[in-house]
């Protein structure tokens, strides 16, 4: 499943499908927070901004060919200018992406894209090789679900290769009731994102609220 496509959004803020012009909202600073990895490191998670274009390009260039292939199902070593624009310019309603930063370094990105005029969204993640198996996929999934559900998105859909055990583990360990099917060695996973006791338990103690407004200086890193 690729992040880059030609979908047009059509959802009011509040999550009700509509044929009206898509509504954007201001950058949701309240979604910023510090998170703890499985290794005990504290990293910063926040919604993506248009000015994250250069860090995103650098992040992608430093991924291994294996990580890129598992994400895009093809070898895609560089992002085009149009792709970068699409990936970094989101409306924070129908399309939202979180990035994870270690200092000034972008180390992971996760996103959802609502399927137009539905309550479903496609979700995907990409984590820098040296930060894989640290629990960032689960953290991104949890925060994406928490952000999407109040906006009327009730179901996430993901695709991954059948041999990508790490990504399959992220979804199966999420605490959400996942159903899956397989075709041509590609697994499609579907699950409701309404919070459950199990899903809440998966993330206990992994989020630390932070006063991020002090970082707002016009241009952010």
* pLDDT tens, the chain, 221 aa long: 434 333 333 333 334 444 445 566 899 999 999 999 999 999 999 999 999 999 999 999 998 877 877 766 666 667 889 999 999 999 999 999 999 999 999 999 999 999 999 999 999 999 999 999 999 999 999 999 999 999 999 999 999 989 889 899 999 999 999 999 999 989 999 999 998 888 888 776 566 555 444 444 333 33
Q: What is the pLDDT of residue 5?
A: 39
Instruction: Retrieve residue 200's tokens.
Output: 């809440």
Any idea where the domains of the chain sit in the sequence?
32-208
Look at residue 77 in the predicted model and tell me its pLDDT. 67
Using alpha carbons, list the distances in angstroms from residue 128 to 8, 109, 122, 138, 171. 29, 9, 21, 14, 18
Q: Which two tokens stand for residue 210?
A: 């932070």
Q: Which CATH number fits domain 32-208: 3.30.360.10, 3.40.50.800, 3.40.630.30, 3.90.1150.10?
A: 3.40.630.30
Handedness of CA 4, 5, 10, 16 (dihedral sign): negative
- What is residue 127's predicted lDDT score, i.e. its pLDDT? 94
Given a contact cutoff of 8 angstroms between Cβ atoms, the answer to whether 159 and 167 are in contact is: no
**Residues 170, 145: Cα–Cα separation, whole Å:** 13
């Amino acid at each position: 499943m690729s992040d880059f496509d030609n979908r047009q959004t059509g959802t009011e803020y509040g999550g009700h499908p509509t044929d009206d012009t898509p509504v954007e909202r201001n950058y949701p600073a309240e979604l910023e927070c510090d998170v703890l990895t499985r290794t005990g490191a504290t990293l910063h998670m926040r919604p993506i901004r248009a000015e994250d274009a250069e860090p995103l390009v650098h992040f992608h260039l430093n991924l291994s060919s294996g990580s890129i292939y598992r994400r895009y199902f093809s070898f895609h070593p560089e992002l085009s200018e149009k792709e970068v624009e699409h990936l970094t310019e989101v409306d924070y309603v129908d399309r939202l992406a979180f990035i994870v930063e270690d200092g000034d370094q972008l180390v992971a990105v996760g996103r959802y894209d609502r399927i137009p005029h539905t309550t479903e969204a496609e979700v995907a993640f990409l984590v820098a090789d040296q930060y894989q198996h640290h629990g960032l996929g689960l953290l991104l999934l949890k925060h994406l679900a928490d952000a999407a559900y109040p906006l009327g998105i009730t179901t996430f859909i993901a695709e991954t290769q059948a041999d990508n055990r790490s990504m399959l583990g992220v979804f199966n360990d999420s605490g959400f009731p996942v159903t899956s099917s397989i075709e041509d060695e590609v697994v499609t996973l579907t699950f409701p994102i309404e919070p459950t006791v199990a899903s809440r338990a998966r993330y206990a103690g992994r989020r630390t609220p932070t006063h991020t407004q002090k970082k707002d200086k016009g241009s952010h890193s």
